[in-house]
Amino acid sequence: MSQLSDFHRERVRAVLASSPLIPVIAINDPDDAVPLCQALVDGGINVLEITLRTEHGVKAIEQVRKAIPDAWVGAGTVTSIAQYRQVEAAGAQFVITPGVTEAILEFGLTSEVPLLPGISTISELMLGYNLGYREFKFFPAEVAGGIPALKAFSGPFPDVTFCPTGGIRRDTAKDYLAQGNVQSVGGSWLTPADAIASKDWAKITEIARGSLGDL
């Protein structure tokens, strides 16, 4: 059975170590992609998860990679190998899935773009673990058990690190990050829809900077 390479693990660890907060970004207007991401970077966040929740995600990854080369730019909400290939071609530096399939886990072993697989149960974790994955997205974190679940995971899997996402708020991020098996947390509070709709990029920067300051 193939195993995850050291290169992939090092890349994923580098991404998670680069920012304790990872914004979940959905692009509804292609013109928003670069200024929104620049506002987050200006606020101190240099890991950007651009999701495929809208039709503009792949193009946005390509745009932001070119415009903000010093940031880590990755793809979120990747649910198929076809999408994985699309974001590879767009220049994504990492891929995050909401859940796992054996096919995606195996594809991630050979892709040049490292995978952070999404899991919500021990059984899903074990699928990835057996292939060498040791870093996972925990989603949807609050619904799937939150901090108590992460504490329970640490018993049988003390060498696994998580990026919890889903239902985490600015005022709870610090509690998640206090867990020994949590490297970073993801959240949509960093990109509120009203601020994006009004193109209030200064507010986005303020939220990013303030959220980091709360930690």
Nearest CA to 134 out of 9, 1, 2, 3 is that of: 9
* Run of H or E residues at 50: strand 47-51
Maximum CA pair distance of the chain?
51
Structural domains of the chain, with CATH: 6-210 (3.20.20.70)
| 3-state secondary structure at position 83 | helix
Q: pLDDT by residue (tens digit) across 22-80?
A: 999 999 999 999 999 999 999 999 999 999 999 999 999 999 999 999 999 999 999 99
Q: How far apart are CA 192 and CA 214, in angstroms?
A: 18
Closest among 78, 106, 112, 90 to 2, alpha carbons compared: 106
Model confidence pLDDT, tens digit, residues 156-195? 999 999 999 999 999 999 999 999 999 999 999 999 999 9
Active site residues per annotation:
49, 137
Strands 47-51 and 21-25, by their bridges, are: parallel
pLDDT of residue 204: 98
Q: Using an 8 Å Cβ cutoff, are 19 and 46 in contact?
A: yes
CA gyration radius, the chain: 16
Q: Label residue 133 by pLDDT band (50, 70, 90).
A: very high
Predicted local confidence at residue 2, as pLDDT:
80
Q: Across residues 115-142, what is the average pLDDT?
A: 98
Residue 127 has pLDDT above 80, yes or no: yes
